[in-house]
Amino acid sequence: MGPGCAVVPSRRSGGRAARVAMRSSPLAENIRPVRPGLSGGQYKPLTDANVLRIHEAALDALEQIGLANAPKSGVEIMTKAGALLGDDGRLRFPRALVEDMLALAARNLTLFGRDPKHDMQLSGTRVHYGTAGAAVHVVDCEKREYRESTSRDLLDAARLVQHLDNVHFFQRAMVCRDVADNFLMDINTLYACCAGTTKHVGTSFSDPAHVEGCFDVLHMIAGGEDKWRARPFVSNSNCFVVPPMKFAEESCITMEACIRAGMPVLLLSAGQAGATAPAPLAAAIVQAVAECLAGVVYVNAMAPGHPAIFGTWPFVSDLRTGAMSGGSGEQALLTAGLAQMHRFYDLPGGAAAGIADSKLPDMQAGWEQGISNVLAGLAGLNLVYESVGMHASLLGFSLESLVLGDDLLGQAQRCIRGIDVTEDSLSIETMRSVCLEGPGHYLGDPQTLELMQTEYIYPAVADRTSPKEWVENGRPDLLQKAIARKNRILEIAPLSTIDADADRAIREKYQIYC
């Protein structure tokens, strides 16, 4: 050691057991270092002038191009409000109509969990992370292979989310490929999600005819239709448009039924830049905004102020092949830019981040998921969908990656929270005491101990040991630790969080596969 180098005591010196015990103690929600609904908004890839240009271009698109293929009921609803049906069958939207419907749109929404402690306040730049998607495969990390996803896989994913603090909501992430009948698939999807977690759930219905039966299940879970309507704990993820600029007729009819039944809706526009959306990132944003503004008109012309989420989800293509590249930097930029548009309209918004093109939870997946989740959070996106577990450009879902993602999202939220600059945090009194009167280091200092839990976050799976300790621990790798944590959670998590009588009634009335 060279001259002038201070001797710093080992981190393993006295008091470590006490510090570990302190870190294990549960904290009150309001003093946790990260928690649902932290406010982002620090990152703005678009200037204020460019936000206005995108808004104007979206209004131009709605007035001049409009949307095709609205169902008869939708045409009636929107033309009564002031939309214009052209000879070409396209609905066009005057600017004044869009502005009027924006004025009626719901703001400052609460998405309810079955347990009120999981309620999510969607306002301003408050950020929440969750799952989503329709993966048709499960990634078997131990065998390094893909297999078809089942209803039990979906249930297990929901059970894991219930115990992962940094995953705030659970939207259907996999398709129940073991259920051949489409109606029973919708029933089992809804059941598996709600049985696994008391956090807010998102689902979708494959056919308008399935809505009635699914709401029968929801009413049983809630304890009656009145209780459901008072606290609707499931939202409908609705692809009401087929980009570019066309309505999806059956999905629109489904959306109307959900609105009548009191369910919040996610107005989902999912074009793919260079394929079903323009290749320039700015123009892809324009199209997504225009399509979702048409959704705002649709919803508020039918039911003013109905809870609806501005779901601009354009994806990115690898223009060399046409394949989706959800883990790209371009995707991260798109999502962050869209969060700015949500703030411009002051509407609750959601978009996709955290998608990995990598097939396994490896280093590629880490950078793909980490970059886009951090940018989405820093941009202040209210609902970050598909943030954990998604691989192979949404084709595969990994339970182990879901567990690893809980650590990743914890770090992302710590970035969102930022640096607390207060009189106490800037005080030099502790520096004075340590440097002039004390031991010359801050280990064990009262200020350090006080802030260990509230200023710093500690991963559950990630390895921060020294190489020596790592060897002593048997050289564990990250995936092994994720598998172990997954298994521990699934061993203790109940198979159903639904009231036992309601659960029994659902199983007696419908064929439940999981």
Domain total in the chain: 1
In a domain, 94, yes or no: no
In a domain, 295, yes or no: no
In a domain, 219, yes or no: yes
Q: In percent, how much of the chain has pLDDT > 90?
A: 86
Residue 249 has pLDDT above 70, yes or no: yes
CATH number at residue 215: 3.20.20.480
Given this model, what pLDDT does residue 11 score? 43
pLDDT digits (tens, 9 = 90+) for 32-76: 889 899 999 999 999 999 999 999 999 999 999 999 999 999 999
Q: What angle do CA 67, 73, 77 make, to 5 degrees?
A: 75
Q: In angstroms, how far is CA 129 from the centroid of its own chain?
A: 4
Average pLDDT over residues 211-229: 98
Given this model, what pLDDT does residue 21 score? 58
- Mean pLDDT, the chain, rounded, equals 94
In a domain, 57, yes or no: no
Given this model, what pLDDT does residue 15 score? 57
In a domain, 379, yes or no: yes
Least-confidence region, from 9-23, 144-158, 260-274, 321-335: 9-23
Residue 7 has pLDDT above 50, yes or no: no
pTM score of the predicted model: 0.94
Residue 2 has pLDDT above 80, yes or no: no
Q: What are phi and psi of 167, to 5 degrees?
A: -110, 110
Q: What is the DSSP string of 276-344?
A: TB-SSHHHHHHHHHHHHHHHHHHHHHHSTT--EEEEE--EEEETTTTEE-TTSHHHHHHHHHHHHHHHH
SS3 content of the chain, % helix, strand, coil (to 5): 45, 15, 40
Given this model, what pLDDT does residue 331 score? 96
The Cα-based distances of 359 to 24, 131, 362 in angstroms read 34, 17, 8
**Would you say 323 and 393 are in contact if contact means Cβ atoms under 8 Å apart?**
yes
In a domain, 460, yes or no: no
pLDDT band at 320 (very low <50, low <70, confident <90, very high): confident
3-state secondary structure of 194: helix
pLDDT digits (tens, 9 = 90+) for 435-448: 999 899 989 888 88
Average pLDDT over residues 246-255: 98
Average pLDDT over residues 15-41: 74
Average pLDDT over residues 318-344: 94
Q: How many CB atoms lie within 10 A of CB 418?
A: 12
3-state secondary structure of 7: coil
In a domain, 437, yes or no: no
Residue with the two structure tokens 């809980």:
406
pLDDT band at 20 (very low <50, low <70, confident <90, very high): low
Show the domain range for 344. 108-279+300-418+497-509
Given this model, what pLDDT does residue 467 score? 95
In a domain, 245, yes or no: yes
Given this model, what pLDDT does residue 438 score? 85
Q: Cα separation of 242 and 237, whole Å? A: 14
Given this model, what pLDDT does residue 24 score? 58
Average pLDDT over residues 110-121: 98
**Would you say 172 and 154 are in contact if contact means Cβ atoms under 8 Å apart?**
yes
Given this model, what pLDDT does residue 317 score? 86
Given this model, what pLDDT does residue 3 score? 38
Least-confidence region, from 163-177, 240-254, 350-364, 449-463: 449-463
